């Protein structure tokens, strides 16, 4: 059993896409980084759809080839049925030469973590962080419990910088008491589970069996119902189905009642019920997350950075979660690398980093939920980001914003930024019917 060092340059809390990518960025720069992860990988995780933007970040960490070799399902785009209006996006229409992916997150995340190890990061699974002491601002002390080998040994590690990539548990935001759960008319919870032998929606807008995946590429299927929405993402050997519903819909339910509600809803919804007509629910696969939309108003400081879901989570409708994790990891580690070179400016670097991450968070929230100048959204920052996006990415995002009824405010911001009319009508395809 390898001993955890007593000190290092940077400690990363959490081994998901944000944490492993941050560790890789630092290790490639020759910085001594230790990552502490409480779980054993591979471990189950939701978030199986990736849009093509993510490749630029995996290129930066030199892991793209390993992802390609795994053979994840390439997805051609997305189809939504929102308020009975059907809309399709194909990535190829926007000039993308690399596909989006449908991934098994346990496998995907394990690839990223193993890659961090191969790049020189020191990774320790089954180590739970309990507290970070910032009394010495130059050398924070992380207290942990080492649960490897069926032990519960306490320990400490000193470092110059802490990166919190702990995911939904938001370790530092909770320690600082700065995490804000969103309370609004768009207050949802998520239920998701897996089915065997589901049919899928193909790029040809037809329903297909799993045996046709080699010939007909899938799309991510999203559909609204009442006040919520569903996702349907086919994977290798199973299909992920999620329900996003108002918190009031399952209030007071126990685990079995939630499972019954989930399956009954799937059986009654149009389109989804047809896709699942011959499918079998995988018992024990249902998971639940209440009040999942949140943010923190303090995500960066002189000696700490909160990235990915540890900083904020918006809504999975546009598959921004993993991309946000990669982006946060890139900008936070750039800030740390510059701070190590010139420590007297590290507060300024952290402030610039926080502005960038809050900007991206505000962008995602305005796009997915329509918030405009509230819940941590700064309209000025969002407009600046919109204006700075590469045309290829901006065009896809603007077209995607037409797919739901949540993005009117976002499109107003795009109009104020002077970019909306440039792409009006491009890449958009409305469909009369789906043959499922």
Is 144 within the bounds of a domain? yes
Q: What is the pLDDT of residue 293?
A: 75
Residue 433 lies in a domain: no
Query: What global pTM score does this model have?
Result: 0.90
Question: Could you give the CA distance from residue 86 to residue 404 in angstroms, rounded to a whole number?
Answer: 10
Determine phi and psi for 277, rounding to 5 degrees. -55, -40
Based on the fold, state whether residues 26 and 145 are members of the same structural domain.
yes
Boundary of a domain, candidates 257, 289, 321: 289
Q: Which tokens belong to 6?
A: 């007593």
Whether 160 and 131 share a structural domain: yes
Residue 271 and residue 155 in one domain? no
Closest alpha carbon to 229 in 63, 83, 15, 18: 83
pLDDT at 398: 72
Residue 158 maps to a domain:
yes
| 143/158 Cα distance (integer angstroms) | 9
Label residues 43-80 b or e (16+ Cβ within 10 Å = b).
Answer: eebbbbbbbbbbbbbbebbebbeebeeeebbbbbbbbb
Q: Are residues 172 and 280 in the same domain?
A: no
The count of domains in the chain is 2
Confidence (pLDDT) at 403: 65
Is residue 141 domain-resident?
Answer: yes
Same-domain check for residues 323 and 339:
yes
**CATH for 235:** 3.30.9.100
Give the span between the Cα atoms of 210 and 235, in whole angstroms: 9
Q: Tell me what pLDDT residue 95 has.
A: 83
Same domain, 275 and 151: no
Residue-level pLDDT at 374: 60
pLDDT for res 435? 75
**Residue from 147, 140, 143 nearest 156 by CA:** 143
Question: How many residues are recorded in the chain?
Answer: 436
Instruction: Note every long-range contact of 134-139, with CB atoms under 8 Å and residues 24 or more positions apart, other chains counting.
Output: 134/303, 134/304, 137/302, 137/303, 138/303, 139/7
Task: Give Cβ neighbours of residue 333 (< 8 Å, ≥ 6 apart).
Answer: 22, 25, 26, 29, 163
Q: Are residues 241 and 309 in the same domain?
A: no
Q: Tell me, what's the pLDDT at 143?
A: 98
Domain, as residue range, for 242: 188-289
238 is a domain residue? yes
pLDDT of res. 319: 66
Mean pLDDT by 10 residues, the chain (436 residues): 92 97 98 97 89 94 98 94 87 88 96 98 97 96 95 96 95 92 70 96 95 96 87 96 87 89 94 96 90 81 95 72 92 97 95 89 72 66 82 73 68 80 60 71
- Mark whether 210 and 301 lie in a shared domain: no
**Statement to judge: residues 305 and 219 lie in one domain:** no
Clarify whether residues 203 and 310 are in a common domain: no
Q: In whole angstroms, what is the distance from residue 171 CA to residue 130 CA?
A: 9
pLDDT at 130: 97
Task: Check residue 276 and give its pLDDT.
Answer: 97
Same domain for 306 and 280: no
């Amino acid at each position: 059993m390898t001993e955890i060092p007593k000190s290092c340059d940077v400690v990363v809390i959490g081994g998901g896409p944000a944490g492993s990518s941050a560790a890789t960025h630092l290790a490639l720069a020759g910085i001594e980084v230790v990552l502490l992860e409480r779980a054993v990988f591979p471990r189950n995780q939701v978030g199986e759809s990736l849009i093509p933007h993510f490749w630029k970040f995996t290129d930066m960490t030199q892991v793209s080839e390993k992802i390609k070799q795994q053979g994840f399902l390439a997805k051609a785009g997305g189809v939504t049925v929102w308020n009975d209006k059907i809309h399709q996006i194909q990535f190829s229409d926007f000039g993308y030469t690399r596909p989006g992916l449908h991934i098994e997150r346990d496998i995907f995340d394990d690839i990223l973590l193993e890659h961090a190890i191969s790049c020189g990061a020191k990774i320790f699974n089954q180590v739970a962080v309990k507290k970070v002491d910032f009394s010495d601002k130059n050398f924070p002390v992380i207290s942990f419990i080492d649960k490897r080998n069926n032990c519960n040994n306490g320990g400490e590690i000193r470092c110059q910088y802490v990166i919190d990539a702990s995911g939904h548990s938001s370790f530092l935001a909770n320690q600082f008491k700065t995490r804000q759960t969103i309370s609004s008319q768009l207050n949802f919870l998520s239920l998701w589970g897996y089915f065997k032998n589901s049919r899928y929606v193909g790029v040809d807008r037809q329903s297909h069996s799993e045996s046709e995946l080699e010939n007909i590429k899938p799309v991510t299927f999203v559909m609204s119902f009442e006040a919520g929405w569903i996702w349907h993402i086919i994977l290798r050997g199973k299909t992920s189905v999620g329900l996003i519903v108002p918190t009031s819909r399952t209030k007071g339910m126990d685990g079995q009642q939630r499972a019954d509600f989930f399956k009954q809803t799937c059986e009654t919804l149009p389109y989804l019920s047809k896709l699942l007509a011959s499918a079998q629910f995988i018992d024990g696969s249902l998971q639940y997350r209440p009040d999942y939309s949140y943010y923190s108003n303090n995500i960066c400081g002189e000696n700490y950075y909160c990235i990915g879901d540890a900083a904020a989570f918006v809504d999975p409708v546009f598959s921004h979660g993993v991309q946000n994790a990669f982006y946060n990891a890139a900008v936070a580690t750039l800030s740390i690398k510059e701070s190590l070179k010139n420590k007297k400016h590290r507060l300024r670097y952290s402030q610039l980093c926080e502005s960038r991450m809050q900007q991206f968070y505000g962008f995602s929230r305005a796009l997915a939920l329509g918030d405009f100048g509230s819940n941590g959204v700064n309209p000025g920052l969002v407009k600046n980001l919109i204006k700075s996006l590469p045309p290829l990415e901006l065009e896809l995002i603007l077209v995607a914003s037409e797919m739901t009824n949540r993005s009117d405010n976002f499109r107003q911001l795009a109009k104020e930024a002077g970019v909306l009319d440039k792409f009006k009508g491009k890449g958009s395809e409305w469909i009369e019917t789906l043959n499922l």
